[in-house]
Amino acid sequence: MVSYSKKSTLYLWIFTAWALLMFLFGYYTVRDGIIVTWDQGKPVMAVLEGVNFGVFTNLFLFFSVQNFTYPIMYQHIKNPEAKHERKILAKPLPSDWHPIVKLLYTTYNDFIPYALNECMNQTYDNVKTVILDNSTDQHFINLIRQFCKVHPDVEWVRDVPNHHAKAGNLDNYLCHEGRDTYDYFVILDSDELLQPDFVEKCLKFFYYGNHLGILQCNHISGRNDNAFMDMFAHSGNSFWPVQNSVRSSENGYLAPTKHPQVIKPGDTVDIGLGHGVMVSRKCFDSFGEFPWMVAEDMCSSCEALLKGWNIKFATQIYGNEEFPINMEALMVRSSKFCSANFQFFNRYVRRLFKTKLLTRRQKLDLLSFTLNVPTFALMYMSLILCSIVFPLDRVPMGYNAIMLLPTLLCYFSQSITDGVFEFQDGMPFWDVMKYELESMIMYGSFYYLTVKCTVLALLGVPAKFNVTPKSNTKITYHQAFMENIGSITFSLITIITCIVISRSSWILLSFVPGCLGWLMSLKANHQSKSDKKKQKILSDYNYYALYHPEHVLKWYE
């Protein structure tokens, strides 16, 4: 499968814009910061100013430029890429090619009957379903038992010890009784929904593709049933097509020969994101097992790349998933991502930087993807320097204010691009403004979470695979406040310290959201009429999936 992009230009634009901003801020830092501070006989403070610019400012500028460049590039490539994909999907599968595809549904105390039942309704007829279960809650074990009773063709595999979380659950089957029983497999999370022709479409990519080992498909968060999910699902619905489409179009091509080689150098690295992804048996057999890591998707993608397999993203093949159901669920997921990224970095950075299969630009792209979540902790450190440490030594507040701009630019860059896409899709202007404000409040309250995860990671505390909660109960003001007491206390201490030292409260705008983020928890209490109707429909679908599977359920539109 030949990509539409003839020449990788993404990082040419990123580096150009980044270099210009670095020069401007660097000139200001040296002229009005480092030189002045050094002349005042404060070498330590001058070094800290240099570190703030050389490490934090440049990093934030890079992420900001990257976050703005990806959507611009997406606008350029989305139509040609979609046209190219539709040509592949228009081709028929050969009548003499009939590979076995297994749907591997992974569950740990979060089995959702209607979701699996819907995924099983595929137009391609050589599909087998396997439930990979390491549940400990008897309620969910009973649900699975009932599901298998009315779906006798479904294979149920228990991973009772529950070693190594999702990776161990997959390996327990793929490396033992499931070995050599399939040609391709699809990984499903518990809340996954697939298009009826999902498998058929994916197989066309593999058949007409070029050394394709992993195919990640597009996703939307379309099964939201409260105001929290309705509002913040916009971030995921923008991230999936924008980030992954660009990475897929610019990732070059490899050949998984005896000695893997580069066919076409790339600018970016595309990776599988853990669910709604199809993997070929040849690709999986080449690296043998899913690494026993929390970020098993990123790790297995890197193992595939190092064996010379290509990874692509399909914009025209969709899955449907739930956005985290409330603030607690989103924080659990973000905490997992943060600690998992550090674990991935420690395990793979040396191997990736030594390999000749990836260009320097691809290595940088993968590194920036890995550090995306922990960047919040680095933002906090930079803000502390500018609002506490520098004012403590009488560094001019004007300089500090300028040096805060890269932090704020990085902080807002993702939500701004999300808002632009929603506005283009028809969201009213004031609704976009409301989304931007609430996103600022919610994600600004993540400083405590990311700082905590970063400190624990640096102390060597192992990353832990936490299942994102799938159920929601009404929460009171008091409960919401107490659930976020760590973030509130952390932010208040920071604010009071800053005011006492710098005597300038406007500089604290980035810390205020930490005191208000708990209010976003209350949004999960609110349901529109359509939300309630949707919730009732899905409840009925669960009943049919467990007791009357002959009813064909067509939730996916």
Helix (H, G, I), strand (E, B) or coil at 416: helix
Nearest to 187 by CA among 287, 281, 106, 300: 106
pLDDT 10s digits, 159-207: 777 777 899 999 999 999 999 999 999 999 999 999 999 999 999 999 9
Q: Which two tokens stand for residue 69?
A: 């460049």
Q: Which two tokens stand for residue 337?
A: 């991502």
Q: Which residues are CB-neighbours of 149 under 8 A, at least 6 positions away?
A: none
Label residue 376 exposed, middle or buried (CB < 10 Å: 0-12, 13-18, 19+): buried
Asked if 325 and 222 touch (Cβ cutoff 8 Å), the reply is no
Asked if 270 and 216 touch (Cβ cutoff 8 Å), the reply is yes
End-to-end distance of the chain based on CA atoms, in angstroms? 28
Nearest to 110 by CA among 320, 304, 299, 324: 324
CB burial string 473-493: b at 16+ within 10 A, e below: eebeeeebeebbeebbebbee
Is 169 part of a structural domain of the chain?
yes
Residues paired with 157 in a beta bridge: 132
Q: Which residues are CB-neighbours of 80 under 8 A, at least 6 positions away?
A: 4
* pTM above threshold 0.85: yes
Domain count within the chain? 1
H/E element, 312: strand 310-321
- Write out residues in the chain with pLDDT < 50, as ranges: 1-5, 555-557
- Kindly report the backbone phi and psi dihedral angles of residue 218, in degrees, each rounded to the nearest multiple of 5, phi listed first: -70, 155
d(CA 321, CA 191): 6
d(CA 35, CA 43): 10
Is 423 part of a structural domain of the chain?
no
Is 496 part of a structural domain of the chain?
no
Is 2 part of a structural domain of the chain?
no
Q: Which residues are CB-neighbours of 522 under 8 A, at least 6 positions away?
A: 475, 477, 480
Asked if 71 and 420 touch (Cβ cutoff 8 Å), the reply is yes
Give the start-end residues of each E strand in 231-309. Answer: 253-255, 261-264, 277-280
Q: Which two tokens stand for residue 308?
A: 């010379």
Is 140 part of a structural domain of the chain?
yes
Is 275 part of a structural domain of the chain?
yes
pLDDT of the residue at 307 = 95
Q: What is the DSSP string of 8-39?
A: --HHHHHHHHHHHHHHHHHHHHIIIIIHHHHH
Q: Which two tokens stand for residue 283?
A: 């690709």
CATH assignment of the domain containing 246: 3.90.550.10
Query: What is the spatial order of strands in the sheet that 184-188 belongs to?
Result: 155-158, 127-133, 101-107, 184-188, 277-280, 212-221, 310-321, 193-194
Identify the domain containing residue 180 by its residue range.
Answer: 77-326
pLDDT of the residue at 5 = 44
Q: Which two tokens stand for residue 215?
A: 């195919």
d(CA 120, CA 149): 15
- How many Cβ atoms sit within 10 Å of the Cβ of residue 427? 15
d(CA 340, CA 166): 13
Is 293 part of a structural domain of the chain?
yes
The one-letter amino acid code at 484 reads: N
Asked if 422 and 455 touch (Cβ cutoff 8 Å), the reply is no
- The percent helix, strand, coil of the chain (3-state, each to 5) is 60, 10, 30
- DSSP at 93: P
- DSSP at 387: I
d(CA 457, CA 455): 5
Is 377 part of a structural domain of the chain?
no
Nearest to 23 by CA among 53, 68, 48: 53
pLDDT of the residue at 506 = 56
pLDDT of the residue at 399 = 67
